[in-house]
Structure 1
């Protein structure tokens, strides 16, 4: 009899680990775990002080006792004899991990059969729980191989589908991932996913199910991030630009699909925005000449310029800024002349702050920041926003 820690005792001849729950959890009972090499495999039961035993041998039974969390890895490996690689791999399957290990301990030939198909084994195990299979039914299905296991899980039973499921990855596996796999095979092109991915992340599948039209993007070949906000903003911007013939000789959808990184997508976005701005500015040549004839300058600025915020007082200045920012500022000309807007260049940044002008009851003008425009219409950073807000609040 070997003592691991004071409340935990290992009985090697019986392949049993006894845990004194009075000392561990202040419960008047003892937890007994049989080891990997026990004739009946892994199992557990509770021994109460009155001699009554509550035995648990069903591998599909939900654990109401936190057995995996109570055992340190070295305890589980050295005393219970659970193979280290199986213990490590099973942890991703959380609530199902102990039940899966119970099955494997009783049917050890499955360990070699599973190989890299752990997620398929988990899917089959969880399907068995949901459909109330017996343990032997699960083992019979698994012994028939991956194709039969896929069929039993109501998934496409072919090699491409098996490969896709093998590549499916998540930090933790639970009901969300179980359902996600079903949706992957019923709603997405798993043949394409399998052909273009070495790893298929659960968060990526979740994203593609919401935006299935983005499934063909080349960016997925190298994608690992779980932050899709910037990707979605970039794609939406490109798609909006694609609604207008800014580059008529280019198939924008093909260009998007050929981009294999977010930076490549952003380069395409910038090129399209540049072409759009240049096209729009060409249409302002004649209105600009007319503006010169009508007025060489805008109305007086409502706020005096500073070293950082310089009023844009002529259509010519606005036109030049439109070119340098690759953004159509000329659409504000009419609003500036009507006293509804005024624009200020922010120095030394390549940016413009747009002020909306409101008249107060005492006939004064109150400026309010409508937006800050950077090159290509990019969003301003936090420090630029703070600087502009500080300036406007001192007026």
Structure 2
């Protein structure tokens, strides 16, 4: 056993087994450490623990009672986790299983997003690998949001396992030999008009779903925060005009996925299923349609090769998908109403695109400068015709 202190955390690493034979000695060592490090949270690192008996469990229980602080058991093997679970210790301590390790070398990439990349593990499962450090909280948060969406009636894939992929972590989903709507469009498995119609039906289902305020982040608030980042690119008149429009948007509890492009919709049987739920929020659908406009139109404006490099499709096909989305989504609007809505969508898209450019290396180089300049022009032009953002 090895006991170390890291700030206000007392880390107790246990190897081998903790049972009747060695439990008394371990208990004494832990109690001495608690006495010398009062007020610390306790973390048991059980990565190398192979077995724990009832005597060992009593040591953990006494540790919790004596410390009076939060106690966690991390990196718990599946066998040891089963013991915790059967004995009810998962209700007493915060227990995190050790993630099994997998490799994604040579696997098919289904899609790449802001937070990570989705791979196909086999015919029935996919894994979303998150980039960056400390991604476990992001994974757990996405799972929680997906569960809320699922219970609200939105067809949602919910992960059943967390895995380690190199230095990163990922979520595993079972999707029963599903293809993305994007892959179906690429392969021509279904007439594009029918596919986009089913896709828009899903969009409308999402946008007809109401949640409680606070269940998901507010997209209105998110866009208002964008203004702190993109404000330097706008004149005072432009900034004030955009801020006024955003501030006037009604606070809504309508669900917005935030990145619902066809790569993030799986076709399970004949039913659509959403993945990539970390962008879920609440707000007016204009924020959703604006995100789609960025994906299907903004990127290719100054980079005609983007459609092929990102979507693996021709510009003509990408443009047709966007045209059909607009046609079906606004089918119940007059032509005048539809054009007004499109202008609002384009303005929301320009704000989102300018934000994405600013926070990533996409702003670098001649292409980045051109995109920023054209996006500013679009904002200026759209402010002349847009009197509100809601659609």
State the TM bucket, normalised to the shorter chain: under 0.3
TM-score by length of 2: 0.28
TM-score by length of 1: 0.28
Structure number, greater radius of gyration: 1
